[in-house]
Amino acid sequence: MTTTGRQQGRTALVTGGSRGIGRAVSRRLAREGALVAVHYGHDAAAAERTVKEIETDGGRAFAVRAELGVPGDAATLWSAFDRELAAYDAGAGPGLDILVNNAGITLPRPIEQVTEEDYDHIFAVNTKAPFFILQRGISRLRDGGRIISVSSAATRVAYPAIVAYSMTKAALEHLTLSLALQLAPRSITVNTVAPGFTETEINPTLRNPQIRQALSAASVFNRLGAPADIADVIAFVASDDARWVTGQWLDATGGVHLGL
């Protein structure tokens, strides 16, 4: 089966789309023909690099800047999206077909070490921001659209060392269920994709060889996931091939913890 052109004529927004899993998703959707808005918060160079990579591959993309986790972040993001989309293609209109909630931060601390400031910040970025981005984005989504949120396997297995992070992702998963039911009459699917241990910058512990080996061994394939592994799953959920899949939690962990 070829996937070339299956997103032709569609517009996608990938939050946190300039690095890691988001970068891989942006590149994959663009390769399938979508016009991709690559969102970033601070690293303009990374966003422009991702856009250039997409263009070099023959795709179309533009960067959108909005810091998440601060007051008014959703309004800022959509204003930037409208402005940059109009500048890129005046005839494109303000509509959207695919929204990937990927942006997030981690907090590798057990409950005893989490401050109120830590807690408020991680929930602001990982939970509050996507909630209000979706609140303002639902009316922009065209019928038949796709919403995909990136969660974590940590919501299904106890990881006390990242308890606050896991809680933020669990909240997103319930949002998926609610929106899947609400938006079904418009043929909009809403799903969650949950990576496991993946080779990204969000996990600085991977620099430790012993930790790296242990996390690799958690997968039945005895390796860390690559961003492209996750992007391929998200691309499927974003396609018409997944039109009959909604309200689901898709395990994209490489079989982490299948055995004892």
Sheet of 11-14, strand order: 60-65, 35-40, 11-14, 96-101, 141-150, 189-195, 249-252
| Residues with Cβ within 8 Å of residue 114, at least 6 apart in sequence | 107, 163, 164
For residue 17, which of 6, 3, 28 has the smallest C-alpha distance?
28
Q: Give the rounded distance of the alpha carbon of 256 from its chain centre.
A: 20
- Whole-number pLDDT of residue 34: 97
Residue 143 structure tokens = 């019928």
Let me know: does 43 contact 15? Beta carbons within 8 Å: no
- Whole-number pLDDT of residue 260: 61
- Residues 239-257, buried b or exposed e (16+ Cβ, 10 A)? beebeeebebbbbbbbebe
Q: Domain limits of the chain?
A: 11-252
Q: What is the CATH topology of the domain spanning 11-252?
A: Rossmann fold (3.40.50)
- Whole-number pLDDT of residue 258: 86
- Whole-number pLDDT of residue 236: 98
- Whole-number pLDDT of residue 1: 41
Q: What's the CA gap between 14 and 64, in Å, rounded? A: 10
- Point out the residues of the chain with pLDDT beneath 70: 1-2, 92-93, 202, 204, 260
Q: What is the pLDDT of residues 143-161, one digit of tens each?
A: 999 999 999 999 999 999 9
| Residues with Cβ within 8 Å of residue 141, at least 6 apart in sequence | 95, 96, 97, 99, 147, 183, 186, 188
Could you confirm whether 165 is annotated as catalytic? yes
- Whole-number pLDDT of residue 57: 96
- Whole-number pLDDT of residue 2: 55
